[in-house]
Amino acid sequence: MTETYADPLDAVRAATPVEGDPERMLPAEAYTSVAVLDWERRHLFAGSWTCLGRFTDLFPDAGAAVRQRAAVLGDVPVLLVHDAHVLRMFANTCRHRGHELLGEGETSPRRRIVCPYHAWSYDLEGALRAARGFQDVEGFDDEDHSLVELPVRVWQGWVFGHALHPAGSEEEPDFERHLGDLADLLTPYRCDDLVLADRHSYEVAANWKVIAENYHECYHCPLIHPELCQVTPPDSGDNYDLPGAWVGGAMFLRDGMSTMSLTGELAGNPLPDVDATRVEYLHLLPNLLVSAHPDYVMAHRMVPLAPGRTWVECSWFVAPSAGGTVPELRGAVDFWDITNKQDWAACESVQRGLASPHFRPGPFAPKEDAVADFVTRVGRAYRVGRFE
Ligand code: FES
Ligand SMILES: [Fe+2]
């Protein structure tokens, strides 16, 4: 008899391996259920530290044309505000009757946040400044109706937000603890000094976790990535077991290969202070995959659109040449565009297979230890309500 569960996540929790179990995939519903994705958006995206993009993309001219920008963090509409060199984030929910203060993706140069519904207006620190018609309402105090401020950080040029608990509350997760030792690993790449060389966006017909799991193993590389295997042996390197809410490892370049590019030749300017023989593959939970090379840093930012659909923004960052010109990075961008598409095709095939009534979670190979680490973290988060 099939058991029935009141909460759809209970079925997934019950079928999710716990630590110490033989390591195997999550149950199919974890990748196909709308209810599970809704839960993940609230608890693993809004409730974690999720990457919203590069600061310079969100506020391109440091504040004049764009002072306010609406975005969505997990399932929570947020309003990013940058003014006088201070970045703040608020719930994009008016304190009158809840209208969004700016529509999703919209920006504004204004120094006041004005709700389009009944024109309550707030300053850029979130304080209510005017509530039409409330001047003579007894007992109405502006201070009771400030916008809800949410925690936001800029780290290595990326903006990270937490949208579940207000800034300064006890439940706000500690950002430095979230990064853990990832911060030390990425510091030599000086990502905040790098500039965008190129960017591709993809819409992948697969669950965000299928994409992450694929990122965490090279067991598939000899089968689908002939170009990649020419520059890096697929069985090179090891995974890290260090503090922080991230999963990842390093791989090594073949002798004579200087970077991951179509020819193995450097495509950007070599980054000083980094190990020229290795490539770091680091997944900061939940949605940022940072692949750091000797001459460029590639980052995939994932936004789940549906259980079987994920938007992926792939950006390549380089050190500018003397005089400020930006290297073209063609050989690396083309290399990774080919590799990305090989990966997306595999992920989309896995997603179709997961939807079959005959799918059963299979075991991980020894070379898939980072996938097992990721799945274990997701399984634990399903039980405790957040990434740890
Ligand atoms: S909902 Fe914003 S002013 Fe009424
Ligand atoms: Fe791959």
Vertex 68, ends 63 and 69: CA angle to 5°? 115
Q: Half-sphere exposure of 119 toward its Cβ, with a 13 Å CA cutoff?
A: 4
Q: Do residues 165 and 216 both lie within one domain?
A: no
User: Which residue matches tokens 């309402």?
Assistant: 137
CA–CA dist 122, 112 (Å, integer): 6
Q: Do residues 104 and 210 both lie within one domain?
A: no
Buried b (16+ CB within 10 A) or exposed e, 214-223: bbbbbeebee
Domain span at 112: 50-172
> Which ligand is the nearest neighbour of the Cα of 345?
2
Q: In what order do the strands lie in the sheet with 68-73?
A: 107-108, 68-73, 76-83, 86-91, 149-150
CATH number at residue 292: 3.90.380.10
Pocket of ligand 1 (CB under 6 A): 94, 96-99, 115, 117-120
Query: Atom 1, ligand 1: which residue's CA is nearest?
Result: 97
| Global pTM value | 0.95
Predicted pLDDT of residue 295: 98
CA–CA dist 268, 359 (Å, integer): 43
| CA distances in angstroms from 378 to 15, 297, 301, listed in the order given | 13, 26, 18
For residue 343, the CA-to-ligand 2 centroid distance in Å is: 5
Q: Which residues pair with 196 in a beta bridge?
A: 317
Q: Do residues 299 and 360 both lie within one domain?
A: yes
Residue 35 is assigned to a structural domain of this protein: no
Can you give the pLDDT of all 388 residues of the chain as single tens digits? 445 556 768 878 877 776 666 588 899 999 999 999 999 999 999 999 999 999 999 999 765 789 999 999 999 999 999 998 999 999 999 999 999 999 998 999 999 999 999 999 999 999 999 999 999 999 999 999 999 999 999 999 999 999 999 999 999 999 999 999 999 999 999 999 999 999 999 999 999 999 999 999 999 999 999 999 999 998 888 899 999 999 999 999 999 999 999 999 999 999 999 999 999 999 999 999 999 999 999 999 999 999 999 999 999 999 999 999 999 999 999 999 999 999 999 999 999 999 999 999 999 999 999 999 999 999 999 989 999 8
The DSSP-derived string for 55-92 is: HHHHSTTTTSS-SEEEEEETTEEEEEEEETTEEEEEES
Q: Please give the torsion angle defined by the CA atoms of residues 347, 351, 353 and 355, in that order, rounded to the nearest 10 degrees.
A: 180
CB 50 within 8 A of CB 175: no
CATH number at residue 88: 2.102.10.10
Q: Give the chain's domain count.
A: 2
Query: Atom 3, ligand 1: which residue's CA is nearest?
Result: 118
Q: Do residues 199 and 333 both lie within one domain?
A: yes
Residue 21 is assigned to a structural domain of this protein: no
Q: Do residues 96 and 197 both lie within one domain?
A: no
